[in-house]
Amino acid sequence: MKNDNNIDLKNGIVLPVMESFLTIQGEGYFSGKTSYFLRIGGCDVGCHWCDVKESWNPNLHPLIKVDTIISSILETNVKTVVVTGGEPLMWNMEYLTSQLVKNNIQVHLETSGAYPLSGTFNWICLSPKKNNETIEQYL
Ligand code: SF4
Protein backbone atom coordinates (compact mmCIF):
# COMPACT_ATOMS: atom_id res chain seq x y z
CA MET A 1 0.00 0.00 0.00
CA LYS A 2 1.40 3.44 -0.92
CA ASN A 3 1.94 6.04 1.83
CA ASP A 4 -0.71 8.39 0.37
CA ASN A 5 -3.18 5.54 0.49
CA ASN A 6 -2.22 4.79 4.08
CA ILE A 7 -2.95 8.37 5.12
CA ASP A 8 -6.24 8.45 3.23
CA LEU A 9 -7.23 5.11 4.74
CA LYS A 10 -6.37 6.33 8.24
CA ASN A 11 -8.54 9.38 7.66
CA GLY A 12 -11.38 7.37 6.15
CA ILE A 13 -11.11 9.14 2.80
CA VAL A 14 -10.72 5.77 1.07
CA LEU A 15 -12.00 2.39 2.24
CA PRO A 16 -11.38 -1.20 1.12
CA VAL A 17 -14.69 -2.20 -0.43
CA MET A 18 -15.38 -5.87 -0.99
CA GLU A 19 -18.79 -5.37 -2.54
CA SER A 20 -21.73 -3.00 -2.61
CA PHE A 21 -25.25 -3.56 -3.79
CA LEU A 22 -28.85 -2.46 -3.50
CA THR A 23 -31.09 -5.08 -1.94
CA ILE A 24 -33.83 -5.77 0.59
CA GLN A 25 -32.70 -6.14 4.20
CA GLY A 26 -33.40 -9.78 4.94
CA GLU A 27 -33.13 -9.90 8.71
CA GLY A 28 -33.66 -8.03 11.94
CA TYR A 29 -35.77 -5.02 12.88
CA PHE A 30 -35.54 -3.45 9.41
CA SER A 31 -36.32 -6.65 7.54
CA GLY A 32 -38.01 -5.86 4.24
CA LYS A 33 -36.51 -2.37 3.94
CA THR A 34 -34.75 -1.42 0.73
CA SER A 35 -31.11 -0.93 1.70
CA TYR A 36 -27.75 -0.34 0.11
CA PHE A 37 -25.21 -2.78 1.52
CA LEU A 38 -21.63 -1.64 1.72
CA ARG A 39 -19.35 -4.53 2.64
CA ILE A 40 -16.01 -3.27 3.88
CA GLY A 41 -13.01 -5.59 3.59
CA GLY A 42 -10.84 -6.50 6.55
CA CYS A 43 -11.50 -8.54 9.67
CA ASP A 44 -9.09 -10.11 12.16
CA VAL A 45 -11.64 -11.57 14.57
CA GLY A 46 -11.31 -15.01 12.98
CA CYS A 47 -14.65 -16.70 13.69
CA HIS A 48 -14.38 -20.28 12.40
CA TRP A 49 -18.05 -20.21 11.29
CA CYS A 50 -17.62 -16.97 9.29
CA ASP A 51 -19.47 -17.06 5.99
CA VAL A 52 -17.46 -14.18 4.48
CA LYS A 53 -13.89 -15.31 5.06
CA GLU A 54 -12.98 -13.76 1.74
CA SER A 55 -13.48 -10.40 3.43
CA TRP A 56 -10.72 -10.97 6.00
CA ASN A 57 -7.72 -9.76 4.03
CA PRO A 58 -8.21 -6.04 3.30
CA ASN A 59 -5.42 -6.08 0.73
CA LEU A 60 -7.61 -8.16 -1.56
CA HIS A 61 -10.18 -5.39 -1.85
CA PRO A 62 -9.68 -2.17 -3.79
CA LEU A 63 -9.35 1.08 -1.94
CA ILE A 64 -12.21 3.22 -3.18
CA LYS A 65 -12.67 6.92 -2.53
CA VAL A 66 -15.56 7.56 -0.19
CA ASP A 67 -16.72 10.36 -2.51
CA THR A 68 -17.09 7.76 -5.27
CA ILE A 69 -18.98 5.44 -2.93
CA ILE A 70 -21.34 8.27 -1.96
CA SER A 71 -22.00 9.16 -5.62
CA SER A 72 -22.93 5.55 -6.38
CA ILE A 73 -25.27 5.44 -3.40
CA LEU A 74 -26.97 8.72 -4.27
CA GLU A 75 -27.67 7.47 -7.80
CA THR A 76 -29.93 4.78 -6.31
CA ASN A 77 -32.08 7.21 -4.26
CA VAL A 78 -31.90 4.71 -1.40
CA LYS A 79 -32.65 6.04 2.10
CA THR A 80 -30.83 3.40 4.16
CA VAL A 81 -27.23 2.23 3.96
CA VAL A 82 -26.03 -0.83 5.89
CA VAL A 83 -22.30 -0.74 6.58
CA THR A 84 -21.14 -4.31 7.09
CA GLY A 85 -18.05 -6.45 6.66
CA GLY A 86 -15.67 -7.88 7.51
CA GLU A 87 -15.38 -5.63 10.51
CA PRO A 88 -16.01 -2.07 9.30
CA LEU A 89 -14.74 -0.50 12.51
CA MET A 90 -11.20 -1.56 11.73
CA TRP A 91 -11.37 1.63 9.67
CA ASN A 92 -12.29 5.23 10.30
CA MET A 93 -16.01 5.61 9.57
CA GLU A 94 -16.21 9.35 10.31
CA TYR A 95 -16.06 10.67 6.76
CA LEU A 96 -18.28 8.03 5.20
CA THR A 97 -21.03 8.40 7.77
CA SER A 98 -20.86 12.20 7.85
CA GLN A 99 -21.41 12.30 4.08
CA LEU A 100 -24.34 9.89 4.32
CA VAL A 101 -25.95 11.83 7.18
CA LYS A 102 -25.46 15.05 5.21
CA ASN A 103 -27.51 13.50 2.42
CA ASN A 104 -30.32 12.47 4.82
CA ILE A 105 -29.51 8.79 4.56
CA GLN A 106 -30.07 6.50 7.54
CA VAL A 107 -26.84 4.71 8.38
CA HIS A 108 -26.90 1.25 9.92
CA LEU A 109 -23.88 -0.67 11.16
CA GLU A 110 -23.20 -4.36 11.58
CA THR A 111 -20.27 -4.93 13.92
CA SER A 112 -18.67 -7.53 16.15
CA GLY A 113 -17.92 -4.82 18.72
CA ALA A 114 -14.23 -5.72 18.70
CA TYR A 115 -13.10 -2.20 17.72
CA PRO A 116 -13.95 1.25 19.07
CA LEU A 117 -16.82 3.05 17.42
CA SER A 118 -16.08 5.72 14.85
CA GLY A 119 -18.65 7.61 12.83
CA THR A 120 -22.33 8.38 13.34
CA PHE A 121 -24.96 5.67 13.02
CA ASN A 122 -28.72 5.62 13.36
CA TRP A 123 -28.78 1.91 14.17
CA ILE A 124 -26.12 -0.47 15.42
CA CYS A 125 -26.52 -4.21 15.10
CA LEU A 126 -24.03 -5.73 17.55
CA SER A 127 -23.06 -9.35 17.09
CA PRO A 128 -20.56 -10.29 19.83
CA LYS A 129 -18.02 -12.99 18.99
CA LYS A 130 -16.34 -15.44 21.32
CA ASN A 131 -12.88 -14.76 19.84
CA ASN A 132 -12.85 -11.09 20.89
CA GLU A 133 -14.30 -9.40 23.91
CA THR A 134 -16.97 -6.85 23.08
CA ILE A 135 -15.74 -3.36 23.90
CA GLU A 136 -17.64 -1.98 26.88
CA GLN A 137 -18.90 1.14 25.10
CA TYR A 138 -21.35 -1.06 23.14
CA LEU A 139 -22.83 -2.58 26.29
S1 SF4 B 1 -16.45 -10.85 12.99
FE2 SF4 B 1 -17.85 -11.25 11.26
S3 SF4 B 1 -16.59 -11.01 9.40
FE4 SF4 B 1 -15.19 -11.20 11.14
S5 SF4 B 1 -14.67 -13.38 11.24
FE6 SF4 B 1 -16.41 -13.05 12.64
S7 SF4 B 1 -18.24 -13.45 11.41
FE8 SF4 B 1 -16.53 -13.17 9.95
Report residue 3's pLDDT band, with 50, 70 and 90 as the boundaries: confident
Pocket lining: 46 vs ligand 1, CB cutoff 6 Å: yes
pLDDT of residue 93: 98
- Per mean pLDDT, which range of 37-41, 74-78, 130-134 is the poorest? 130-134
29 HSE (CA, 13 A, CB side): 9
Mutate-to-test residue for ligand 1 from 37, 43, 134, highest number of ligand atoms within 8 A of CB: 43
- Compute and round to an integer the Cα radius of gyration of the chain: 14
Cis peptide before 119 (omega within 30 of 0): no
pLDDT of residue 80: 98
Could you tell me where the DSSP H helices lie in the chain?
Answer: 3-10, 66-76, 94-102
What distances in angstroms separate CA 98 from CA 54, 66, 103, one per listed residue? 28, 11, 9
**Ligand 1: which atom is nearest the Cα of residue 46?**
5
The whole-angstrom separation of Cα 20 and Cα 40 is: 9
Report residue 5's pLDDT band, with 50, 70 and 90 as the boundaries: confident
- Report residue 82 CA to chain centroid gap: 7
The whole-angstrom separation of Cα 59 and Cα 109 is: 22
* Contact (Cβ atoms closer than 8 angstroms) between residue 105 and residue 122: no
pLDDT of residue 1: 57
Pocket lining: 42 vs ligand 1, CB cutoff 6 Å: no
**In this predicted model, what pLDDT tens digit does every residue of 94-123 receive, in sequence order?**
999 999 999 999 999 999 999 999 999 999
**In this predicted model, what pLDDT tens digit does every residue of 49-92 receive, in sequence order?**
999 999 999 999 999 999 999 999 999 999 999 999 999 999 99
Report residue 124's pLDDT band, with 50, 70 and 90 as the boundaries: very high
Q: Taking residues 35-48, what's their average pLDDT?
A: 97
What are the structural domains of the chain?
Answer: 3-138 (3.20.20.70)
